[in-house]
Structure formats: structure tokens, C-alpha cells
Chain A
């Protein structure tokens, strides 16, 4: 297998894990709760690998992207409710990414934030219009790898590896007050939701169809899902662990991406800082494209429009109009002056409410021998799939109350 074929998984994962919400959330989690939330990243990574692989397999074998399945399996009414909720949550996420790009470009150039956000949206629109799907995934997937500077920075500050390793075991830090325990629970649910954002599977399965995957591509799908998602998780855990060591003891709670990037300046100086900012910039740009296209894919697949960026924009005109309008709407949200970081909180809570409705139809179809033939879910996929589905439902039930009680993790 050509390693370049992994770029779909890398872009999905880097854009899914290391979007603006995860950059700030991972570092904040490390700063506030040390290494004790690493296991949530590890657990949810297994979950997104299971469902990512399943969505790619269904795309390759049954040639059905996730939103077709949602409508066919849940029916028109419930499918429409899922579509409305997921479009809203993904639109808010896309707005947060564009706001994040505005912030990052302001750090790099000193120009005004709203101007930079507008230029970012224009540049993203140009990229999606001009570049074919393969080039989009390669450019943003590979440039997002600059984020690896966070992994090198972690190893350079000589972290307590035994504490990091212990963080992989499920735990609740001892001695928390009830208020702190609620905050910890909110962080756990929010990380789980952010890692398993439904737009990742919409984008990944649609990408598989864009690349014309068939049964022969199933090994590529499996490796792509595992390597891509594990890489995204590694980057998030590196940011969390660095924050636990550098920010937590100093009482710094990183609330903006610029503070998070400082993790790399400590061992590597200005070069580390610039590489980190560029890495975040490309990862967040990838996430903005991913969210915008995932939304357009969902709408087009639900209504039965011709879709895909392997076609020229005028060959899938309603799909093209959809992504252009969605990008402009996201920019309009940013231009109202709303704080992108608070948008992230709303996106996370909305997303987890959509998760059960996204993953149930996927499980049902991947379990259906009539559609999947010999590529139906094996025992491991079936057991893990249903276990994570139960977990997702529990998280969805807990998300809104925790969000309200803790004021979005602010205590």
C-alpha cells in the first residue's frame, strides 16, 4: 500500500481530533486535571476507530455513505431531525474553526482578527473550488503533520513517563470536591464527544466513495482508520501531557490556541512556536474544510443530490451551492463577534446528542449480511460497536445536564 493513501485518514483524524476545540480542550484538561483524562482520549480513540473503519467498509462494499443509511434505516422523519441537528452542530463547529484561523493568523501577522477570519474563509473557498478531493486531503493531511512538533516538544521536556502511562488506566483523581467531580465528568464527556464528532464519519465515508473504494480497498480502510485516528489521538495526548507538566503547576489555564502553542516554545524557542502555530493553522484549516464539506455531503446525500468533489463544481451544482452557502454562513457567525471558544462548547454538546442517531444505522447496516455479504461485522467489530453505542447513549444523556450544571466546564 502506498503511504500517500493514508492521507484521507490523516486529514480526517488531524482535522477531527486536532481541531480548534481539541487544541484548547486537551491543553485545558491537562492543566486542570493533570494526566487523569488521558484514558478518555484512549477509550474514545478506540471508539472512533471502530466506527470509522465500519463507515469506510460500508462505503466500500454497499457504496452507501453514512447519511444515506441514516435516512434509509431511521426513516424520513427521524432522519430529518438527525440532519437538522447535525447540520447545526457542524455549522457551529465550522464557525469555530474559521474563528480559530482568524486568531492564529492574527498571532502570525498582527492583522485584525475579523479581517483574518474573512481572508481565511475566502482562502478555504478557493481551495475547495480549485483543488480536487485527493489534493485537498493530501495538502491539509500532510501539512497538519507539522503538529508532530508537540510530540517532539513533550519528549524534549523529559516528562514523567510513568504518570503518563498511568493516565491510560480509567480513573477519577482522588480528593475531588463534588463541584470538581462534576467538572471532571463534563471534561470526560466533552472529550469523548469531541473525539467522536459525527462529522468525522460523514467525511470519512463520503471520502471513501469519492476515492471509489471497493472491497479490494478494505485493508487500506482498516490501516487508514487505525493509523489516522491513533495519530490524531497521539497529538492530543501530547498536548495534554505537556500542559499537565508546564501549565498546571504554574496555574495557567490555556483558553486560546496561542497559549497552547507556547508548549513548543519552551524546549525549541521561536522556531518551535512558529512550527506549532503553522501546524495548528493547517490542522484547523483542514477541520474547517472537513466540517464544511461534511455538512454539504450530509445535505446532498439526504436529499438525493449529485455530490462529491471528485466532480467539477458545476457537475454537482446543488452540492457546490450547499458548501459555498455553509461556508458563508459560518463566516457570518464569526463576524457577529461571538467568541470562537464558546462556539466550541455548544458544538460539543449538540454533537453528542446526534451521535446515537448517527452510529445506530451504521451498526445496523454493517451487521446486515444481505447488504454486506462476507464483509459483515465480525465478532470483534460487533462487540466493540455495541459496547461503544451503549457508552455513547450514556454520554448523550449526561451531556446536557453536565453542561448546564458546570456552565460548560467553568465550574
Chain B
């Protein structure tokens, strides 16, 4: 399926894993951004990735817990960077370029880089 095909949003796009052009795992599609308005076609503008995008999808108590565990960051992935949508969403650029690995990079600073075989 191509990004401009008809998509059943809830069942076919939300909560799918995301991979970049190098096949690196970049997270999950947590929400979407639409354009359009009354009398106009609705179009997908971007995918939202990160626990901050759960707002509105989870009750308040759960959001509080999620923010404590995973933070509240959101990264926007413009639809023109999406290559294909299937069992996973594949991007046509690197995840680094879109800032999808920022939280991992920050967490890595806390981890000793030695001792593992």
C-alpha cells in the first residue's frame, strides 16, 4: 500500500511499527495529523511518534503514569517521508534525520559503554 492509497486509519495505521530506510526500528505510529476542514477532503499530513501523542487516547491517570515511565516527547513524521504502509510503516529516509532516535541517544548517555560481549 502506498501513502496516498485509501487507508482504514484505526485498523491499518495506528499502532503500527515504524522502520527507516536502513531497516532500523524507529518506534510506533502513536497518532496522526490530518488536514482539511468542512466540505474539504481529509488528508493525512503526518504521523506522530512518541508517548506525548497518547493524549486523548488514554485516560488522565494512565497518561500521568506513561509520562513518568516514557516521557511526553512527540516527533512528527511528514507523510512525504513515508515509503509504504503494510504490516509496518516504512520510511524513505533515515530515522536520525527526523529526530526519531533522540530519546534513545539521551538515554544512552546514562549507560556504561563497556563490559558486554
- Which residues of A line the B interface, CB within 8 A? 62-64, 68, 71-72, 75-77, 79-80, 84, 129-132, 135, 299, 303-306, 312-318, 320-321, 371
Contacts and interface: CB of A to CB of B under 8 A. Distances in A.
A303 B49 CA distance: 10
A389 B70 CA distance: 32
Of residues A75, A80, A314, which shows the largest number of chain B Cβ atoms within 10 Å of its Cβ?
A314
B15 A76 contact: yes
A80 B70 CA distance: 13
A314 B30 contact: no
Nearest to B27: A304
Contacts of B87: 62-64, 371
B62 A317 contact: no
A321 B15 contact: no
A72 B62 contact: no
A317 B108 contact: yes
A328 to B, nearest CB: 14
B57 A131 contact: no
B104 A303 contact: no
B111 A320 contact: yes
B111 A304 contact: no
B25 A306 contact: yes
Nearest to A322: B69
Contact of B117 (A62, A64, A131, A299): A131
B15 A130 contact: no
A140 to B, nearest CB: 16
Nearest to B19: A63
Contacts of B69: 299, 303
A240 to B, nearest CB: 39
From DSSP, what is the main secondary structure of chain B's interface residues?
A: mixed
Nearest to B17: A68
Residue of A68, A131, A371 with highest tally of chain B CB at under 10 A: A68
A304 B117 contact: no
A132 B28 contact: no
Interface in B71-110: 87-88, 101, 103-104, 107-108, 110
B54 to A, nearest CB: 6
B36 interface: no
B12 to A, nearest CB: 10
Interface in B57-73: 57-59, 62, 65-66, 69-70
A295 to B, nearest CB: 12
A77 B108 contact: no
A314 B15 contact: no
Contacts of A315: 108
A368 B66 CA distance: 31
Nearest to A315: B108
Contacts of B32: none
Given A68-B17, A71-B28, A312-B113, 5 more contacts: A62-B87, A68-B15, A305-B104, A313-B111, A315-B108
A303 B115 contact: no
A317 B15 contact: no
A314 B111 contact: yes
B67 to A, nearest CB: 12
5 contacts: A63-B87, A72-B14, A77-B62, A305-B27, A306-B101
A77 B58 CA distance: 6
Contacts of A130: 115-117
B5 to A, nearest CB: 14
Scoring A76, A135, A304 by chain B CB atoms within 10 A of each residue's CB, the highest score goes to A304
A77 B59 contact: yes
A76, A129, A305: most-surrounded residue (chain B CB, <10 A) = A76
A316 B113 CA distance: 11
Contact of B112 (A80, A306, A314): A314
Interface string B18-45: 1000000111101000000000000000
Given A80-B62, A317-B108, A303 B117 contact: no
Most A CB within 10 A of own CB, among B30, B49, B69: B69
A144 to B, nearest CB: 21
